[in-house]
Amino acid sequence: MVKLASARESRLYGPRLSRNRAEYMNAGLYLFATVILLTGFLAQFSMEPRSGLVLLLIGYFLIAAVNVHDLVAHLAGIDYRLPLMEFDVQLGLVEFAVPVVQILGSLLSFLGILFLLILVLR
């Protein structure tokens, strides 16, 4: 989801009609997850910080889900032919590496907050 819009529009992969609709749904869900994360961070200042941890878990899960969908959609657009990445730098970096790094970061943050929530609940 973290991509340059101009690079995205200059190299389009996949069927034309469904591509824009799926991208808008992805962007909307990513924005919703960002709002959930923001409210989770703000809820940490409340009298009940556990609710903020739960909101953070939900937000990071949504961000990871959006990035997994994004990665699968881009790989499906090239029919899962991974050797094509050697011919197109943008395909390898922007369409494959960025979602993978985002997924790993969201997963690590999710696990850290989950372990913190387990410690708080004891």
pLDDT tens-place string over residues 12-35: 555 555 557 777 888 899 999 999
Distance CA 54, CA 31 (A): 18
Write out pLDDT tens, residues 39-96.
999 999 999 889 999 999 999 999 999 999 888 887 887 777 778 777 777 777 878 8
Q: Where exactly are the structural domains of the chain?
A: 16-121
State the pLDDT at residue 11: 54
pLDDT band at residue 4, thresholds of 50, 70 and 90? very low
